[in-house]
Structure 1
Amino acid sequence: MQIAVIGAGIAGLAATKVLTAVGHEVTTFDTEPEFGGVWSPTRHYPGLTTQNTRMTYEYSDHPAPASWPDYPSAEQWHSYLRSYVDRFGIAANLRLGTGVTLAEPTAAGWKVSLDSGESVEAAHLVIANGVFSRPAIPDWPGRAGHADAGGVVKAPSQHLTLDDARGKHVVVVGFGKSACDTAMALSTVAASVTMVPRRLLWKATKVLAGKHFEDVAMTRLGETLFANPRRFGPLFGAVSRATVKKHGLAAIGLIPPGRFDDIASSSASMATDGFFDAVRAGTIAVRRDRSIVELRGQDGPQAVLDDGSVLAADLIVAATGFVQSVPFLGSPLSAQNADGDFELFRNVLPHDIPNLTFAGYNTSLISSLSAEVGTTWIAAHLAGALTLPSPTARKVQVGADLEARKARMRGKYASGTVVLPRSLGNIDHMLSDMHAVLPWRVRMAQWTRRSYSTDFRETLGAAWRTLGSG
């Protein structure tokens, strides 16, 4: 079958490799000149490293070098992806620097129009354009005057560099991983760095009370704890207090609202090394619970906050999240409901659009593995090897899942694409649909130790061999 994949990030590369391995003819398109998605060199920002350890972020059948640090740099992870592309021989399947402008269904599948002016035909379309691909930058009033005065507004992924901040007054908007990473990196060269988070987030500490975060959150027991926070309230209360004490959050006025289990009610974020020390030392200022209401340029680039205070703002780093969309999917087709949530069974299969699946729309703490399992699910779906509920039952299930995520994550669930805290649970469901069995000894071990990508190598390998022989 001729398959077109849109996007050559983590999920797109997995889709290309898996679908090629089971016998399909795959062509993968990406607007960037390099593959890798968030790991493409054109999207690196200063201070970027993996949030996962390499052991939980690697693909199941392609280990990262053991000599690397636990949290590889952006450059290292792009080289890891390059070794994946080279090892499995999928470079020829990639059409980089080639954007898709429109995808239209046909009687035989899809017509995919490219920004080069040409079009290609495919029997099946896989959308893997990423849920972290299009920055959501606020449209602040006064932005034109700010720019006329020399002010710059950039998202971290828009090729932000140290030179952008050298000797400048920098304002970083947000408090997620990219916000704290960039604040730390830019503070080494900037005249000043001020962070403006509308709401503080709890930060996971790599090691707390002698326990690595992944040895708690990436276990089956950990998922049960985070999915039932009220039942384990005293435990999370103790973790909250330990986190506050370890980082000295009270002294610097950065205790977030709520408790540590709220980390599962948004996007889980690791504490950037040295960040709280930099705040304590005054290298980074934090104006918590504030937001920008206006930009100015009369007396140099400035940002006005909602309390009326004015900040010098030569460079504004908008670490304000992403917009999840598929603008190339021709109207009236849509996999999103009226609220903008993607209605996808298993976060892969839309209800009423034939010959279409999504890869990487099940983001979690183990996103590479989730994407890899998801693309294997797609291969099984194309082979007719899945056992699925009826379309009506699928719609009911998706609706219930979205409502539960919305309630649990207070709407911060990336248009329905975040499956936290059920990272392993989502994978379990997909494996069950495929009649794939994770060895009992592995499942039992995962209750009390972190789940490694290699735990799934045997199970996924068996599925690929079965699908390829079919």
Structure 2
Amino acid sequence: MSSSAATPASSAVPPGPRVCVIGAGSSGVAAAKVLHERGFDFDCFELSDRVGGNWVFGNSNGVSSSYRSLHINTSRSRMQFSDFPMPEHLPNFARHDQIAAYFDAYVDHFGFRERIAFTTGVDRVTPLDGGGFDVRLGSGETRRYDAVLVANGHHWDPRLPEPAFPGAETFTGEQMHSHHYKEESQLAGRKVVVLGMGNSAMDIAVDASYHAEETFLAHRRGVHIIPKYVWGRPYDKIGGHERIPAAVRWPVARILMRAATGPMSRYGLQDPDHRFAEAHPTMSSRVLDRLAHGAITPKPNIDRFDGPDVVFTDGSRVAADLVVHCTGYRITFPFLDKDFLDPGGDNRIRLYRRMFHPDVPGLYFIGLVQPLGAIMPIAERQSQLAADHLEGRYALPSRAAMDGEIDRYQRSLERRYVSSKRHTIQVDFDDYMRALTKERAGGARAARRGRAAAPARG
């Protein structure tokens, strides 16, 4: 792959750039909308035959992780784009098809559907010496662009336990990743072990508790489980605002959590070894109810497999028909050369403000964050910042300043969060939204200073 390190990342892409957007999921449509309304020459490539990405159940692209019972776990008012409210008739925690319909309506309302090339994948993106990119499509055609906005998502390449549990290869039951769970018929009448404590694990365990013969929830570490409603209001509407600093928000939230749920051990789960907001929290109002009613049996982590049995670390065992591994995803960019960019097994990637590649001008990542909140407003604001840079209205800082910010961010993750591959791209929704606003304003001032200092032509 050609190197472009000779071109400083802090320089804006030349005026009138031609732009490629990869993906038309929730982040890709946000990017396409911003580029469209600013008059950019751009193409958006989407492997599926429709927009919506992960929110499309049965998506033709074959990589959606949506399942029939999926609902959002952030309230719709905290998830919607700033200039296109979700319909008031929708429930606060809408269903996947309602969210997918919202993205369809968003695209049609702003009139950029014809800018999206459907059923068209991107096979390779090659940065060029001196700037720009060659983009090879699945059809074999190669097009040249000045900039690329990567919005391919990070919940599509499933990661199974690493290393595999002893005996996994000879287990006589079925094993699958939660990515491949689609509907309750996969669980019906079976003894099911769900491994994990994230949102998907909670949903699948609840589904199994109604349809399986028996349901067991295995977990390595305790987590804080947040009910979707507290005091009759969506949880994320209580104290969630950019103007409320984290130093105030999280201590209040911890008091609220203790009052709302009490210790997790009361439900038979392990108590967390960390404070609330020091790991990605789990949203579920239903799982605690099903645990309390004995419909889900909590278990410690899996130790090994033994023929038909799942053996847990406390020595107990279950003759299971199905084990569902809810063990997260790899961050993967199959269209980028691994010698150029590879998050590797630890899911780490160095990006300024979580979106700018410090070595390659014109390469932006949209929605590559794991927020304590919704990703859609974040993708919208990131896209506005990327568009500012493409127009020369925003200037990046020096390479040293970018490296310093990346290092501080990674140190902050290590200080705050428990060690996990799921916490390598973590952000607080409100704090990060405020940081993007400040970054946009500061970069705009730097761009104006740069223009003022430039010698006059004549």
- Bin for the TM-score computed over the shorter chain: 0.7 to 0.9
SS in 2 for 1:344: coil
2:41 maps to 1:25: yes
Task: Tell me, in whole angstroms, the C-alpha distance in 2 between the residues paired with 1:405 and 1:224.
Answer: 14
Partners of 2:49 and 2:200 lie apart in 1 by 22
Match of 1:455 in 2: none
Structure 2: give runs of 5+ residues left out of the alignment. Answer: 1-16, 59-64, 446-458
Residue 456 (structure 2) aligns with: none
Match of 1:61, SS state, is: coil
TM-score by length of 1: 0.81
Aligned to 2:436: 427
Q: 2:289 corresponds to which residue?
A: 277
Q: TM-score when scaled to structure 2?
A: 0.83
C-alpha distance 266-415 of structure 1, shift in aligned 2 (>3 A): closer
1:383 matched to 2:399: no
Matched, 1:168 2:195: no
Deviations 1:221-274 (A, max 9, x none): 6542367x6xx4xx56643531344xx845433362256xx332222322x232
Q: For 1:313 and 1:121, how far apart are their aligned partners in 2?
A: 53
SS of residue in 2 equivalent to 1:179 = helix
One-letter code aligned to 1:12: G
Counterparts of 1:226 and 1:269, CA distance in 2 = 21
Q: Is the 8 A contact 2:154 2:330 kept in 1?
A: yes
**Match of residue 101, structure 2, among 79, 100, 106:** 79
Tell me how far apart the structure 2 counterparts of residues 95 and 106 of structure 1 sit (CA, whole Å).
24
User: What is the aligned partner in structure 2 of residue 158 from structure 1?
Assistant: 180
Answer whether contact 1:266 1:413 (CA < 8 A) is retained.
no
Q: How much does 1:70 deviate?
A: 0.6
Q: What residue number does 2:403 align with?
A: 395
Distance 1:224 1:316 in 2: 38
Which whole-Å CA distance do the structure 2 matches of 1:150 and 1:362 have between them? 35
| Letter matched to residue 44 of structure 1 | S
Determine if the alignment matches structure 1 residue 241 to structure 2 residue 258. yes
Q: Contact 2:125–2:133 at 8 Å: present in 1 too?
A: yes
Coordinate RMSD, CA, aligned: 2.7
Q: Are the aligned partners of 2:222 and 2:273 in contact in 1 as well (CA < 8 Å)?
A: no
Structure 1 Cα separation of the partners of residues 310 and 124 of structure 2: 38
Q: How does 1:251-266 map to 2 (within 5 A)?
A: 251-254=266-269, 256-258=271-273, 262-266=275-279
Name the residue aligned to 1:460.
Answer: none
C-alpha displacement of 1:306: 2.8
SS of the residue corresponding to residue 187 of structure 1 reads helix
2:170 counterpart of 1:145: yes
Instruction: Supply the AA of the counterpart residue of 1:360.
Output: G
Residue 36 (str. 1) matches residue 52 (str. 2): yes
- Distance (Å, rounded) in 2 between the aligned partners of 1:29 and 1:158: 24
The corresponding residue for 2:313 is 306
Structure 1: how far apart are the matches of 2:184 and 2:93? 21
- The equivalent residue for 1:48 is 70
Asked whether the equivalents of residues 330 and 347 of structure 2 are also in contact (C-alpha less than 8 Å), the reply is no
Aligned partner of 2:276: which letter?
A: I
Give the CA deviation at 1:213.
Answer: 2.2
Contact 2:224–2:264 under 8 Å retained in 1: no
| 1:12 corresponds to 2:20 | no
- Could you tell me how far 1:55 is from its partner in structure 2? 0.8
5+ long unaligned stretches in structure 1: 437-470
* Equivalent residue number for residue 463 of structure 1: none
% identical equivalent positions:
26
Partner of 1:191: 213
Q: C-alpha distance in 1, partners of 2:303/2:124?
A: 36
Report if aligned partners of 1:361, 1:417 keep a CA contact under 8 Å in 2.
yes
Question: Displacement of 1:338 after TM fit?
Answer: 10
1:91 is displaced (CA, Å) by: 2.4
Distance of 1:87 and 1:221 partners within structure 2: 30
What CA deviation, in whole Å up to 9, does each residue of 1:435-464 have, x standing for no partner?
Answer: 59xxxxxxxxxxxxxxxxxxxxxxxxxxxx
Q: What is the count of residue pairs matched by the alignment?
A: 418
Please name the residue that 1:354 is paired with: 361
Deviation at 1:152, TM superposition (A): 3.6
Deviates further, 36-45 or 53-62: 36-45
Query: 2:341 and 2:285 mapped to 1: Cα distance?
Result: 41
Please report how far the alpha carbon of residue 406 of structure 1 lies from its aligned counterpart in structure 2 after TM superposition. Answer: 2.1
**Which of 138, 141, 149 is the aligned partner of 1:118?**
141
- Structure 2 vs 1, CA of residues 378 and 238 (structure 1 numbering), >3 Å: closer, same or farther? closer
CA distance in 1, matches of 2:80, 2:185: 31
Q: 1:217 to 1:412 in 2, by over 3 A?
A: farther
Q: Matched residue of 2:180: which SS?
A: coil
What's the secondary structure of 1:350's corresponding residue? coil
SS at match of 2:149: strand
